């Protein structure tokens, strides 16, 4: 009998779900010529291979289509056997098969692994058996997963996104990435190995987001969208004229700044803010202004304390810009009041105000300029929280340049009063005599106790001395007449008495005293009244004696010490040699 192909219905359905090498062997066997003894006249033969086999990869599936074999069989096709077998059996993926009737020439095989290569076979079968298969290679696939965004930034008319590749390629190699800016819609496509891309041509000052979409053979994957960024034109702030390093409290600082573009051209009509920070505190606004046509702006502002300065430009179409503008030390304001001319031996008492306030008792310093340096000559203190007092007694005559200095602290620099010139003149008999004449607490007798009237009374002596002459002496009884110089120490003692009490002087160089009296040498004076009380044995005379001795008197006779008699009603103060009167 002729050799017949077994019926396809009697063959296992997994006939074609075999490794590629076996399929290839089957194809080769089917293509070999029949043996010489075959009965080629048998009207029933197996079908030929299906024609026009096409495969469309899908997510975990393959959509398969074909057409009927060529019309060279004598038996109608009753079914089609379809199989998808892993090209590499070692990967452990299970083959998938399906059967359709003879009129259905398409099928979708599901449950496949994306990215795994399969050998697809489609064989037609009739009552004579299964014919040779049509074969093709195919790989299921889908679009990639979303990328992992790692950053986004903006520059002038540009925004840039960075990313890491998607966790899943979808079973097909990444071919490119599409980066799109919104709302502008501008996009760029970059190669599969890129991890960043920039979109140009964007509007400065407009918020922009970027979406990054991976692309493979299956299509465009899910988009990852960045946070919004704003492209801005670069700008920089520069200090053209810096503020003075030190400014007095209450005074204004002045500085000039400029806002420039990347090419160094001024940017007009832009708001610039001057900020200050005291210590480690927060920045506060010191001034706000708008740049002129050249991009410049001038500031004038007052600061409450020493501070760091910062310039700030708010962002719009320009990138936000800040620039350190140095620091300013605010010095306390110090005023002073002091006599401009004194005589040697007097004390310079300087008072004044300090702002802002300081603690009571805080130090202030009186300084003298010498050899190009300021030297402290006296220390004073705050008598209230806003005023001070400091005293200094010059050691010599001359002209001094002085100032009052308030030391620095945590918030304020050293503050100094304006320097002044202090004139210290030598003290003379005439100047001290003039002081005595001006002192209303000192009364100078205009008549002698003897009743004699002449030009040698205590008042007349003092007037002559103040005019630069010697003191007149009386010319009656023991008095020698003429005139005499007067000891400067005596006059200073009398001036000092006038600061402590109200006193009356009866005689200096005039009147009649013992022969050779120290009065005639201008070395003695007699005090008769203290604070309105006449001196007597029980009167007030101890203060006079004490003051005279403090000014160097060598002899003091009073009611309590009157070895020669005649001093029961006055105090006799004497400088020079010991004498009875």
pLDDT for position 34: 44
Question: Are residues 489 and 543 part of one domain?
Answer: yes
pLDDT over 90 (residue 191): yes
Q: pLDDT confidence of 579, banded at 50, 70, 90?
A: low
Do the Cβ atoms of 222 and 213 come closer than 8 Å?
yes
Asked if residue 323 and residue 245 are part of one domain, the reply reads: yes
Cα distances (angstroms) measured from residue 194 to each of 164, 223, 352, 418, 470: 9, 16, 75, 71, 112
pLDDT for residue 15: 37
Q: What is the pLDDT of residue 106?
A: 96
Residue 50 · residue 107 · CB < 8 Å: no
Would you tell me how many other CB atoms lie within 10 Å of the CB of residue 150? 12
Residues 437 and 559 in one domain: yes
257 and 206 in one domain?
Answer: no
Place of tokens 């003429």: 482
Is 580 contained in some domain? no
What is the extent of the structural domain holding 162? 148-225
Kindly give, in sequence order, each residue whose CB lies less than 8 Å from that of residue 561, ignoring residues fewer than 6 positions away: none
545-to-102, 445, 551, 554 alpha-carbon distances in Å: 153, 20, 10, 11
Q: Are 80 and 105 in contact (CB under 8 A)?
A: yes
* pLDDT tens digits, 472-491: 999 999 999 999 999 999 99
Q: What is the mean pLDDT of residues 108-125?
A: 94
Structural domain ending residue among the three candidates 285, 308, 330: 330
For residues 284 and 579, the model is more confident at 284
Q: Is the pLDDT of residue 435 over 90?
A: yes
pLDDT score for 37: 37
Same domain, 451 and 551: yes
Nearest CA-CA partner of 121 in 94, 84, 80 = 84
Same domain, 421 and 513: no
Least confident of 7-16, 208-217, 518-527: 7-16
Mean of the per-residue pLDDT values of the chain: 90
Q: Is 506's pLDDT higher than 60?
A: yes
> Has residue 23 got a pLDDT over 70?
no
Q: What is the pLDDT of residue 2?
A: 33
Bond before 123 cis per omega within 30 degrees: no
Asked which of 225, 253, 271 is the last residue of a domain, the reply is 225
Q: Which of 104, 138, 172 is the last residue of a domain?
A: 138
Q: List the one residue out of 242, 373, 354, 395 whose CA is nearest residue 309.
A: 242
Which among 86, 62, 64, 82 has a CA at the least distance from the CA of 142? 62
Predicted local distance difference test score (pLDDT) of residue 66: 96
The length of the chain is 581
Structure confidence at residue 559 (pLDDT): 92
In a domain, 1, yes or no: no
Where do we find the tokens 């040699």?
Answer: 577
In a domain, 286, yes or no: yes
Which residues does residue 450 pair with via DSSP β-bridges, in sequence order? none
Is 579 domain-assigned? no
Asked if residue 559 and residue 443 are part of one domain, the reply reads: yes
Q: Own/partner pairs for 566-570, CB < 8 Å, 24+ apart? A: 568/536, 568/537, 569/528, 569/534, 569/535, 569/536, 570/506, 570/526, 570/527, 570/528, 570/535
Tell me: the pLDDT tens digits for 334-392?
A: 999 999 999 888 899 999 999 999 999 999 999 999 999 999 999 999 999 999 999 99
Q: Is the pLDDT assigned to residue 84 strictly greater than 70? A: yes
Is residue 375 located within the same domain as residue 319? Answer: no
Q: Mean of the pLDDT values across residues 313-319?
A: 88
**Interval 449-474 mean pLDDT:** 95
* Together in a domain, 399 and 525: no
Residues 6+ apart with CB under 8 A from 446: 457, 458, 459, 460
Mean pLDDT of 53-79: 88
Q: Are 358 and 382 in contact (CB under 8 A)?
A: yes
Q: Kindly state the average pLDDT of the residues 490-497.
A: 96
What's the maximum distance between 2 C-alpha atoms anywhere in the chain? 198
- 125 in the same domain as 33: yes
Q: Are residues 245 and 177 in the same domain?
A: no
Is 581 within the bounds of a domain?
A: no
Rounded CA gap, 566 and 557, in Å? 9
Cβ distance 352 to 415 under 8 Å?
no
How does residue 72 score in pLDDT terms, banded at 50, 70 and 90? low
Query: In this model, does residue 1 exceed pLDDT 60?
Result: no
CATH of residue 165's domain is 2.60.40.10
By the 8 A CB rule, do 264 and 239 touch? no
Region 127-154 average pLDDT: 95
Residue 30 has pLDDT above 90, yes or no: no
Q: Is residue 126 part of a domain?
A: yes
- Is residue 104, in this structure, part of any structural domain at all? yes
Phi, psi for residue 58 in degrees, rounded to 5? -135, 180
pLDDT of residue 536: 86
pLDDT at 346: 86
Give the residue from 284, 286, 208, 292 showing the smallest Cα distance to 247: 286
Do 361 and 387 share a domain, yes or no? yes
- In percent, the amount of the chain with pLDDT more than 90 equals 83
Is 510 within a domain?
yes
3-class SS of residue 20: helix
Contact between residue 181 and residue 152 where contact means Cβ atoms under 8 Å apart: no
579, 514 in Cβ contact below 8 A?
Answer: yes
CB 187 within 8 A of CB 179: yes
More confident residue, 1 or 179: 179
pLDDT band at 74 (very low <50, low <70, confident <90, very high): low
pLDDT at 4: 31
Cis peptide before 183 (omega within 30 of 0): yes
The pLDDT assigned to 316 comes to 87
193 Cβ neighbours under 8 A, 6+ residues apart = none
What pLDDT, on the 0 to 100 scale, is given for residue 40? 42
356: its two tokens: 């802002």
What is the number of structural domains in the chain?
5
């Amino acid at each position: 009998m002729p050799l017949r192909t077994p019926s396809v219905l009697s063959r296992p359905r997994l006939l074609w779900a075999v490794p590629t090498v076996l399929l290839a062997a089957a194809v080769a066997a089917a293509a070999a010529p029949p043996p010489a003894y075959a009965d080629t006249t048998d009207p029933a033969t197996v079908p030929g291979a299906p024609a026009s086999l096409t495969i469309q990869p899908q997510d975990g599936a393959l959509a398969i289509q074909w057409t009927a074999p060529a019309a060279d069989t004598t038996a109608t096709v009753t079914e089609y056997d379809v199989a998808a077998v892993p090209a590499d059996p070692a990967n452990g993926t299970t083959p998938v098969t399906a059967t359709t009737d003879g009129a259905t020439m398409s099928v979708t095989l599901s449950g496949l692994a994306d990215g795994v290569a399969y050998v697809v076979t489609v064989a037609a079968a009739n009552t004579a058996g299964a014919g040779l298969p049509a074969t093709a290679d195919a790989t299921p696939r889908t679009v990639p997963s979303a990328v992992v965004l790692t950053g986004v930034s903006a520059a002038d008319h540009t925004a840039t996104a960075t990313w890491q590749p998607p966790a899943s390629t979808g079973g097909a190699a990444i071919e490119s990435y599409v980066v799109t800016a919104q709302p502008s819609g501008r996009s760029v496509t970059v190669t599969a190995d890129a991890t960043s891309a920039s979109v140009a041509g964007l509007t400065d000052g407009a918020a922009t987001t970027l979406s990054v979409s991976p692309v493979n053979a299956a299509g465009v994957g899910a988009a990852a969208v960045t946070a919004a960024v704003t492209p801005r034109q670069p700008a920089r702030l520069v200090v053209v004229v810096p503020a003075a390093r030190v400014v007095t409290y209450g005074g204004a600082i002045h500085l000039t700044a400029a806002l420039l573009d990347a090419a160094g051209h001024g940017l007009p009509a832009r708001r610039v803010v001057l900020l200050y920070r005291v210590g480690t505190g927060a920045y506060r606004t010191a001034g706000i202004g708008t740049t002129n046509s050249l991009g410049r702006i001038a500031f004038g502002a007052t600061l409450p304390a020493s501070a760091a300065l910062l310039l700030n430009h708010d962002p719009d179409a320009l990138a936000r810009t800040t620039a350190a503008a140095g620091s300013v030390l605010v010095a306390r304001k110090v005023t002073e009041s002091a006599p401009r001319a004194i005589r040697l031996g007097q004390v310079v008492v300087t008072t004044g105000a300090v702002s802002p306030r300081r603690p009571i008792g805080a130090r202030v310093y009186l300084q003298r300029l010498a050899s190009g340096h300021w030297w402290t000559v006296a220390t004073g203190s705050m008598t209230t929280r806003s005023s001070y007092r400091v005293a200094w007694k010059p050691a010599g005559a001359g002209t001094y340049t002085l100032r009052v200095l308030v030391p620095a602290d945590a918030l304020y620099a050293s503050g100094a009063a304006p320097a002044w010139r202090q004139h210290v003149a030598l003290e003379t008999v005439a100047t001290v005599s003039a002081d005595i004449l001006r002192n209303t607490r000192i009364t100078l007798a205009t008549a002698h106790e003897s009743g004699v009237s002449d030009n040698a009374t205590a008042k007349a002596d003092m007037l002559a001395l103040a005019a630069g002459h010697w003191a007149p002496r009386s010319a009656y009884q023991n008095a020698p007449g003429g005139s005499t110089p007067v000891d400067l120490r005596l006059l200073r003692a009398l001036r000092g008495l006038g600061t402590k009490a109200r006193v009356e002087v009866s005689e200096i160089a005039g009147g009649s005293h013992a022969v050779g009296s120290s009065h005639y040498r201008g070395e003695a004076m007699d005090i008769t009244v203290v604070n309105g009380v006449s001196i007597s044995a029980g009167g007030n005379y101890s203060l006079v004696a004490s003051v005279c001795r403090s000014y160097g008197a060598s002899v003091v006779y009073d009611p309590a010490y009157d070895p020669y008699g005649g001093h029961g009603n006055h105090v006799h103060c004497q400088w020079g040699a010991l004498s009875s009167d």
